[in-house]
Structure 1
Amino acid sequence: MKNSTELIGLPVISITDGLEIGTVKSIVVNPEKRSVDFIAIEHEDWQTSVRAIPFKKIIGLGEYAVTVEQSSAIIDLNEIPLANQLLNRKIAITETKAMSKKGRLIGEIKEYYFNEDSGLIEHLEIESAQDRGYLKAEMVITYGKDIIVLEEAAYSSFQSSLFDDEPIIEVEKQNEGVTLLSQIKDKQSSLLVGRRLTSDVKDDKGIAILQAGSELTKADIELAQRKGPAVFAKLATSVN
């Protein structure tokens, strides 16, 4: 799972173009689908229009960057009515009061966690007057701009960690995460194999691990991935 804070400010990289095409400005939530539908991005060259990437167009949500296949994944929100409507509704989730359907104040949402593959919101982190913990998103009745309404049972359903009562599911989720990560790396590799480097790629110690002019192989790409997100990002933006 990813949380909203991890994405804000990350660079967005087009693997096919080898370009940094913007940075993550905000996350656009669809309250009816209970999911992240778009990621709004900004760039210093864009003056007025707001642009975004549909969640389904994202290849990877890494520690260093968000990756997409190519720059055409970006859309102008003014051209997509649904995306524009969702942005204008300003459903932020974080820093929003959480109330039970009978009107009891449960606390304030501090963070939310969503599935990296589908974008579906899975958990909420809530701070109450007595405690701070997690709730399953299935407890949510309504995601509103000012108030998030929860089932009455949410009042006594706090978990101290995301997987407190789900040890078997936690292992399954870890395995799913490994599989998803493998799929992301394979997709990134398929887009870069055969491309030619325009500059040296150096590791975090400044040592060149791949030379300018060389044609990338799968082994080269796996080497950059093992060296960390910053090294891989450098490789992805150093191809012709």
Structure 2
Amino acid sequence: MLEKSKTLLSMRIISLEEGQQIGRVRGIVVDPETFSIAALVTDKQGWFGDYKVVPFSKVMSIGDHAITIDKKSSIEKPSNLPEIARLMKGKQPLLGAKVFSESGTLLGIVDELLYNKETGVIDSLEISGRFLESVFRGRISIPASAVKIFGRDAIIVDNNYKRNMRSIESPAKTKLDTVKSSGKKLFGSTKKATKKLSKSLTESIDEFTENKEQKKENEKSEVKTDEEPKPDNGKSIE
């Protein structure tokens, strides 16, 4: 199952043997050769202490709210793990790293990594085109297989990255589109209701006018009837 790397940050680390929270995730260490998460960096131990790490191989499970490890001793000093210490000293870019193509085109910066929760292997990079010189606006996803070099100052992808890249719609844009769609529906409903009301008012006015005219006709008819002379019965007044 794929998960976003940012969800790891600040997650609790729980020891199953002691039933104790032994820290929170403060960062991740990536192995550029295997392109996978090698370790999780935890809190500093005391004011003058160093950060400690949990090798990814020691992680039992990554849940929605916490990460579990077998026991407290699974957390170690980087100095006790030479390979991880070497990776940490390399200060390789990760989130926020610039991404270039082999031809020197700046694509943007790494905004997110999608990794396999079971193995720690990175599946793809999500890149934001925040720079003016970038060829993209918005976000794209590039598979890890397109990465050629994961270096100290930048990540280099092959020139055929366009074949496998995928456009990612931002949550803000999705929300804006939803608002626009709702607005159009509301406008349509309002317009329809207005037309219906207008039609109803027109019919009421027409009916009122017809009734008024009919009433006038009836009144005229009654007046005419009253003014007609009464028939002569043949008698004369002397």
Do these two structures clear the TM 0.5 threshold for a shared fold by scoring above it? yes
Is residue 138–residue 168 contact of structure 2 (8 Å, CA) maintained in 1? no
Q: Which residue of 2 aligns with 1:54?
A: 55
Q: Which range is displaced more, 68-77 or 84-93?
A: 84-93
Question: Match for 2:150 among 124, 143, 147?
Answer: 143
Is residue 11–residue 20 contact of structure 1 (8 Å, CA) maintained in 2? yes
Residue 28 (structure 1) aligned with residue 29 (structure 2):
yes
Structure with more of its chain in helix, by fraction: 2
Deviations along 1:6-40, whole A, 9 cap, x unmatched?
01111100011110011111100011111100101
- 1:44 Cα deviation (Å)? 5.4
d(CA) in 1 for partners of 2:121 and 2:89? 20
Residue 158 (structure 1) aligned with residue 165 (structure 2):
yes
Q: Which residue of 2 aligns with 1:37?
A: 38
- Number of aligned residues: 162
Deviations along 1:84-135, whole A, 9 cap, x unmatched?
1111112232111111111111221111111111111101001223331211
d(CA) in 1 for partners of 2:119 and 2:47? 29
d(CA) in 2 for partners of 1:9 and 1:115? 19
Secondary structure in 2 aligned to 1:45?
coil
Within-5 A mapping of 1:91-102: 91-102=92-103
Residue 75 (structure 1) aligned with residue 76 (structure 2):
yes
Structure 1, unpaired ranges of 5+: 163-240
Q: Superposition RMSD on alpha carbons, in Å?
A: 1.8
Deviations along 1:147-185, whole A, 9 cap, x unmatched?
1000101145321359xxxxxxxxxxxxxxxxxxxxxxx
Question: Match for 1:130 among 137, 158, 168?
Answer: 137
Secondary structure in 2 aligned to 1:66?
strand
- Higher-RCO chain (CA-CA 8 Å, sequence separation at least 6): 1
**Displaced runs of 4+ in structure 1, greater than 4 A?**
none
d(CA) in 2 for partners of 1:12 and 1:132? 31
- 1:46 Cα deviation (Å)? 6.3
Using a 3 Å threshold, how does the CA distance of structure 1 residues 150 and 52 change in structure 2: closer, same or farther?
same
Is residue 142–residue 150 contact of structure 1 (8 Å, CA) maintained in 2? yes
| Identity value in percent | 28
Q: Which residue of 2 aligns with 1:6?
A: 7
- 1:75 Cα deviation (Å)? 1.1
